[in-house]
Amino acid sequence: MIEVKTPDELQAMRAAGLVVARTLAAVRAAAKPGVSTAELDELAEQTIRDAGAVPSFKGYHGFPASICASVNEQIVHGIPATTQVLADGDIISVDCGAILDGWHGDSAVTLAIGKVSDADLALSAATEAAMWAGIEAVSAGGRLTDISYAVQSAAERAGRDDGVEYGMIVEYGGHGIGRQMHMDPFLPNVGKPGKGPRLKPGMALAIEPMLTGGGGETRELDDGWTVVTADGSRAAHWEHTVAITEDGPWVLTAAEDA
Ligand code: MG
Ligand code: MG
């Protein structure tokens, strides 16, 4: 069963999404060489709580922080730490979730710290483009894997343009979202179109491709959370929470002026 929201409930999800957008904007402004990921986490938690919301990641299956901070070869679920200090040339994926009035928002960005290599900038841009291609494929009456196909095709297209074969992470993907963060359905980031459940107005999905500069194999660190590339290549992760409406996709975690 996929949760279907009323228009008023989607407005409530938009309010939660805006808290996430503002939090990621604050983290983006603070993410500089010399800053630890623990400091970014503290800023994120404060921003979320100041908005009257609750950080959804904190305590989720025991996760200890309000953001996932995944640096360089870390793909997702990195735990913020005082010992993880950002350096010039790093890339960091920041994933953030907030609950407002019982509704969830979930979004991630990849940020460049100082002067980053052209390859890493292209990797992040390719991942963001794949996310937007997925968002544009959201259509009432369409099928779930239309999104998967659009994400995969955009990632492959970006790779051809960049002269790189980006690694695609297939073990992790998008998901339904609403009164809980992770709901049905699982949304694969690869696949043929025209399969899976039919999309209806009032459904909401988190669309979140992850690409690497190498292969798609992953490994989990001993901390039980951090997922890294098996080959040590760098990874990027972009995510938005998107509602399906009669008029097309509504990006609930976009910034106000977007
Ligand atoms: Mg997320
Ligand atoms: Mg998510």
The string of pLDDT tens digits covering residues 88-128 is 999 999 999 999 999 999 999 999 999 999 999 999 999 99
Question: If you measure from the C-alpha of residue 175 to the centroid of ligand 1, how many angstroms do you get, rounded to a whole number?
Answer: 10
Tell me the helices (H) and strands (E) count for the chain, helix number first.
Answer: 4, 15
Closest ligand relative to 56 C-alpha: 1
Residue spans of beta strands (DSSP E) within 88-140:
91-100, 103-112
- pLDDT band with cut points at 50, 70 and 90 for residue 256: confident
Question: If you measure from the C-alpha of residue 211 to the centroid of ligand 1, how many angstroms do you get, rounded to a whole number?
Answer: 15
Closest ligand relative to 63 C-alpha: 1
197: CB partners within 8 A, 6+ apart: 2, 143, 144, 185
Indicate the pTM of the whole model.
0.98
Question: If you measure from the C-alpha of residue 236 to the centroid of ligand 2, how many angstroms do you get, rounded to a whole number?
Answer: 14
DSSP state of 169: -
Residue 258 has pLDDT above 80, yes or no: no
Q: Can you tell me the mean pLDDT for 24-30? A: 98
pLDDT digits (tens, 9 = 90+) for 200-235: 999 999 999 999 999 999 999 999 999 999 999 999
Closest ligand relative to 76 C-alpha: 1
How far is C-alpha 195 from the geometric centre of its chain's CA atoms?
23
Closest ligand relative to 55 C-alpha: 1
Closest ligand relative to 20 C-alpha: 1
Q: Can you tell me the mean pLDDT for 52-67? A: 98
Residues with CB under 5 A from ligand 1 (ion): 95, 106, 108, 239
pLDDT digits (tens, 9 = 90+) for 141-188: 999 999 999 999 999 999 999 999 999 999 999 999 999 999 999 999
pLDDT digits (tens, 9 = 90+) for 228-238: 999 999 999 99
Report the percentage of the chain scoring pLDDT > 90: 98
